[in-house]
Amino acid sequence: MGESAVDSAFVQALEHRPKPTRIEDEGIPLIDLSVLNSPHTDADLARLVSEIGDASQKWGFFQVINHGVPLECQEKIELGSRKFFALPKEEKLKVRRIGAGVLGYVDAENTKNNVRDWKEVFDFVLKKPTLVAASDEPDDEEVRELTNQWPQNPPEFREVCDEFAREAEKLAFKLMELIALSLGLPKNRFHGFFEDQTTLIRVNHYPPCPSPDLALGVGQHQDAVALTILAQDDVEGLEVKRKTDGEWILVKPTPNAYIINIADIIQVWSNDKYGSVEHRVSVNSEKERFSIAFFFNPAHYTWVEPLEELINEQNPRKYKAYNSGKFFAARGKLKKLDVCHFKIDN
């Protein structure tokens, strides 16, 4: 089949896409969370909160070390992931995503939405049950349950995935408390939004690509959730668009660190004080790459809007309220939908 005009334009865009800056001292901030895991003074905590706020405002991305997630936990899910993705294709397809609400395995050949992403993934949810809006129709109150499905091999895969998800959730709540404090809010200000959370965990495998200049592991995008925690191996690939000048910065992997991404919902809650940042994943011809993304997301019935405590005459509301569940249902139909749709023209 001949290349379509759309495909041709896509290839040209990839060939001319900006290359990432590879300057060591230009990396995203690295923040030590050890204060949270040991006796500390109010001044120690205040310094950490200031670092979190500064990184969230200037970059929208940062890395954390001494985060409390056991190293063994990450090692086990990484090993389990390698075993799963090394299975024959027919084995992985036994747990492929089929129909609405069923999670599991998918690759570029089996999804219309991510056909250009050079990767394969395995998706599962943290909370059982996880309920989401059945449609984006405003008057439709029907919900559906997301269903996990697990492969028979490797036999330990489900256990290591669940263990990682529980540990990442603990870290997510710690980070949300620090973000709340950095905004001048009570540390538990965000907790209530996540009682019936719709958090999803995605295990990613990026195989070696024969033409890395003509493909992306994941195209340029912003995360539509509240917060993303990313664990990755030692292979480079993640690129972040620097807010100050729009340069693409390659994130150098730091051993036993997690990459934290301020996402769209925090951008709205903070009334644009903290911004969700565009990022993408490049691939290479020699090495495969593995990562695990924990997408921390509130309940489907959550109405997302700037927090009242942050709104005043000098800082007027910048977004209309939107329903989280309906938004994600609509995003399933229209991939380009983002929070800018709800921006108020002040």
The tens place of each residue's pLDDT in the chain, 346 residues long, gives 333 433 444 344 444 455 655 444 468 999 999 999 889 999 999 999 999 999 999 999 999 999 999 999 999 999 999 999 999 999 999 999 988 889 999 986 544 444 468 999 999 999 999 999 999 999 999 999 999 999 999 999 999 999 999 999 999 999 999 999 999 999 999 999 999 999 999 999 999 998 888 888 888 899 999 999 999 999 999 999 999 999 999 999 999 999 999 999 999 999 999 999 999 999 989 999 999 999 999 999 999 999 999 999 999 999 999 999 999 999 877 767 888 899 998 6
Instruction: Report d(CA 234, CA 254) in Å as an integer.
Output: 8
Instruction: Report d(CA 240, CA 63) in Å as an integer.
Output: 12
**Residue reference for tokens 């019935």:** 301
**CB of 235 closer than 8 Å to CB of 297:** no
User: What stretch of H or E contains 32?
Assistant: strand 30-32
pTM of the entire predicted model: 0.91
What's the chain's Rg over C-alpha atoms? 20
Torsion on CA atoms 240, 306, 168, 326, rounded to nearest 10: -90
SS3 state of residue 219: strand
SS3 state of residue 107: strand
SS3 state of residue 211: coil
**Going from the N-terminus, what domains does the chain have, and what CATH number goes with each?**
14-342 (2.60.120.330)
